[in-house]
Amino acid sequence: MEDFRNSVAERFLRYTKFDTMSNAALAGVKRPTTDGQLKLLEVLKAELEELGLETYLGPEAVVMGLLKANKENVPTIGFMAHVDTADDVDGNHVKARRFVYEGGDIVLEGGTVIREDENPDLKNFISREIITSDGTTLLGADDKAGVSEIMEAVKYLTQHPEIKHGDIEIYFTPDEETGSGMSMFPYSRLKSKCCYTFDGGREGEVEAECFNAATIELKVSGVSMHLGSARGKLVNAITVLSQIITTLPMAESPEATDGRYGYYSVLEIGGTNVEAHAQLFIRDFDRESFERRIEQSKLIANNIASLYHAKIDIKTTISYRNMAEANRKVPEAITSIMEAGKSIGLDLYETIIRGGTDGARLAETGVSCPNIFAGGINFHSLEEWIPVDSMNSAVNLVLAIVSWWANK
C-alpha cells in the first residue's frame, strides 16, 4: 500500500476546523441547514477544480466532481461522503488532537475519558497515531474522514495517470445527519453503475445492508380546564402522549436490541397539557416487520387518544429503505470491494449497519451503493477517535477499487 498517513491526517485536521454541525429543525427549510456546510462544500469544489476535475455546485448544495476516464470501455463509478456532523453533542468548534497512543485510558478536557476497557480496538494501535477531539466536542470523523480519504485518492489519481480508470464521479453531500441530505440530490447528473459511500466505522467493515427507516410525528391536542374543576373535563395532552410512549414495547427499543433486531424509539417530546408532540423513529431490516411496526405504532396512538377523548394527528415519513436489494442487483459492487481489499492485503468483512447512509437513499433509484469504513470509532460522541492507519487503508482501498473496475 502507498503511505498517505501524514497527508490524509493533515487534510482531515484541516476539514475538522469547519463548523458543519447540521440542524434537523431546519431540514426542508434551509439548504444546507447550516452555513458552515456550504463553506466547506465551496472549499471542496475549489480543491477538485485545482486537481483538474469538472465540478458542479448548485442549489442542491451537493458538490459533484468528474475525473475523466483515461481508459475506454470502463464503467463509470462514484464515491460519496457527507460534510455535516451530528448534533448529538456539540459538533462545532472542534479542536482535534493528533498523537501517538501509548496505551491506557485517554484523558481529554472536560472530564472526557476514552477508556481502554471500553474500546478494545485501542490495543491494536499502541505506538500508532490516533486523532481525537479535545473532549469538549465530537471529532467529526463521521464523515469528514470519508471526505478526506476520497479527496486524497482523487489527488493521487490525478498525479499518477498510469493508473487507468473510467469516468469517476465524486459527490459530497450536506445534511446526511438530518436525513435530508439526498432530498435535493442532482440525480439527473449521476451516471455511475455503482457508488461507494465511505461513511462506515472501524477498519475492515463493508456494509451492504441497512435499516428500513421511518419517522412518525405525533401531535396530541387536549382540552384545557382549570385544574380545580377538571374532573371529567380536562384532557391532558401530555398525559395522553406519555401513555402512548410507555405503551411502546421497551424490549424493542435501541437500548434493548442489537444485530438484526429492529426497534421503536422516541427521540423528541415537548408541549403543554393543551398540545403535545413527539417524534418516533421506526427501524427494521425486514420490510414486513418494518411495515408492521409503523401500523402498530399508529394503532397504539389512535387507541390511547380515543380512550382519553383526545385529538391526535399522525404523520409518517419514510426516511430510507434497506439498500440490500439494490446491492444484490449489482453483485460487482461488493465483489469489487472484497477483491480490491485482498489485492492490497486488507482484511475486509461484510456486515450490516444499524442505521442508514446517503447511499441507502441512492439505492432507492436502483444504483448499488454499499458503505465502506472510514475508520472512526464512537461516532456522535465526545469519545470519538480515529486511527491514522485506518484512514490510510481507506485511501488505498479507493485506489484499489478504481483499479479493479479498470482491469476486470
| d(C-alpha 200, C-alpha 14), whole Å | 21
Q: Are 149 and 395 in contact (CB under 8 A)?
A: yes
What is the rounded CA–CA span in Å between residue 43 and residue 49? 10
Residues 6+ apart with CB under 8 A from 216: 279, 280, 281, 282, 294, 297, 298, 314, 315, 316, 317
Distance (Å, rounded) from C-alpha 332 to C-alpha 311? 51
| 105 has catalytic annotation | no
Query: Cα(66)–Cα(53) distance, rounded to whole angstroms?
Result: 5
Is residue 176 among the annotated active site residues?
yes
Catalytic residue among 142, 152, 176, 205: 176
H-helix or E-strand containing 306? helix 287-307
- Given the residues 84, 149, 152, 205, select the one marked as catalytic: 84
- Evaluate whether 224 touches 274 at the Cβ level (below 8 Å): yes
Compute the distance between CA of residue 306 and CA of residue 312 in angstroms, rounded to an integer.
9
What is the phi-psi region of residue 81: left when phi exceeds 0, alpha when psi lies from -120 to 50, beta otherwise? Answer: beta
For residue 31, the 8-state DSSP code is S
Measured CA to CA, the distance from residue 133 to residue 124 in angstroms comes to 20
d(CA 105, CA 139): 17
Between helix 5-16 and helix 141-159 the angle, nearest 10°, is 130
Count how many residues are written for the chain: 408
Q: What does the radius of gyration of the chain's CA atoms come to, in whole angstroms?
A: 23
Contacts of 24-27 with CB under 8 Å at 24 or more apart are: 24/87, 24/177, 24/178, 24/179, 27/175, 27/178, 27/179, 27/180, 27/183
Mind telling me the catalytic residues? 84, 176
